[in-house]
Structure 1
Amino acid sequence: MQKCIVTIFCIFVFGCTSVPKNKNPKVQVTLSDGQKIVGLLSTTELTLSSSLGELKFSTADAGELGLFGSENIEQSENKVRLWLRNGSEFVGLWQKPSINMLMELGGKKQQIQIPISKLKRMQFQSKEVWPTQAVFRILTHEGDDFFVDVTKTQMIFANEMGTFVPFLSEVSQLQKSDNNWRIYLQNGSVFIAKLQQEHLDLHLTMGPRRLAVPLTAIKMMNREELLKPSSQRMGQSMDSPSYQPTDDGLSIDEENSFFSNEMQKNAKDQSNFFQNN
């Protein structure tokens, strides 16, 4: 009998970092040949076509955009990975042939079209948002890796005693065995019931505010201890001679620098998420 254990933490809260809304964001685009273009993106919304549907993202939530699993767009089959400021990642198709930007040059606004075929990385001028408590993380088979708002997300179970619709904040652990689930509640109750959903109706804190995700699409879901390094970065003291800035020549902590996912990626890789799945 195969068992799957899902542990859910009761509440999480992301720290708030204000980003101006409805303004064309400043970005740095690195091309495959080493060129870098800095200017304003001509849109305030990004759209990815993914296995979860057509997903729209406000650029105020965006951290950086890069190719998915390859060094060039053709090998990645036009798939890109959008990394949000809170560490959530979404994979999808970039369907436009170019990235359109504006640059102040010679006292005028210069329009620039960057072929998507030359894209390596696009970084937004934004700051990371770190959770202040544990989070609930979902990983899909397609490579999406995002955080769920447990204070709004509910699951529907039913047994001979009735139908139960707890918030994830009210559940401490789920244990699956065959077609039944053993549900452990924060109030000490434990009951066995069947999950009544083929799709989970998930509320998110960044990106699309709501997603309907098929259970078959979910590879892992569990409690996540995503901790921000305080005085060290990647295990190195920032005062140490061995400390290096990002490959953009900017420290992540530098004011007005372009976003880098390095710290969040390292924290996610070293968390207890994969150990508990």
Structure 2
Amino acid sequence: MDYLITEGYPSAAEKFAAEANIQPMADFSFIQERVQIRDSIYRGDLQAAIELINELNPELLDLDKKLHFSLLRLQLVELIRQSFTSSDPSLVGKAIEFAQNHLAPYAPLDAQFKIDLERAMALLIVPKESWTHAASSGSSGPSTSQAHDDFGALAELVDPSLRRKVAKDVNEAILQSQDQRREANIRYLVRARSWAEQLAREKKVDLPEHLSLGLDGDQIAKDSQNGHGGDTEMTENGAEDNGMSADADLARYTNINT
């Protein structure tokens, strides 16, 4: 239940609560608000996403400059994408004007903002043929090799994974602003388990060469058939690469002394 609520599967969470005969500890309407924001980002409609965020929490983007910048930069990328895939010649000027009015003021605040803005603006000199290839690939985007051939070092900016990353960051920021955990417990536990295994191997503890999490093979096929009750995915599944901030944070989930 914790995972379904945190990750944004309201239909599945409601069905689970009904079948398990338990009272959910969250208002499903709040989950739906996060899902609407996520879906807007996935569609590339960043203006709608920003407006929904401001309706939900008017102070969130004012307080989190990095998050606001990432949303605006993605909006710029989408505007540039539209300028190359549309027959409207005025869209290029609108993209440049958007960058000047909304993103340029961030450049003096942080050197990384300036670098990220410059990289996004560099998309304006990518040949139209490259954008045509990307558009013909559909929502899944071009293959990694094709994207690198067409966009070079800028490929990550046009990859659909950027939308997923921004949506994930927004979801976590909203949860934190509502005094909730940024991630479901299971994600912490998976990282803790991985950390504990690594530590045990470093201490030469006798362990099998491979310790399965029970998430592969037939179980994956079974899970994929079950689905999420009509919900679309809030974030990328599976454990993330980044670890927790310190061994002490992870040790509280294990019995291994650091």
TM, length-normalised to structure 2: 0.23
Asked which structure has the greater RCO (Cα within 8 Å, sep 6+), the reply is 2
Structure (1 or 2) with the greater helix fraction: 2
TM, length-normalised to structure 1: 0.22
Structure (1 or 2) with the greater strand fraction: 1
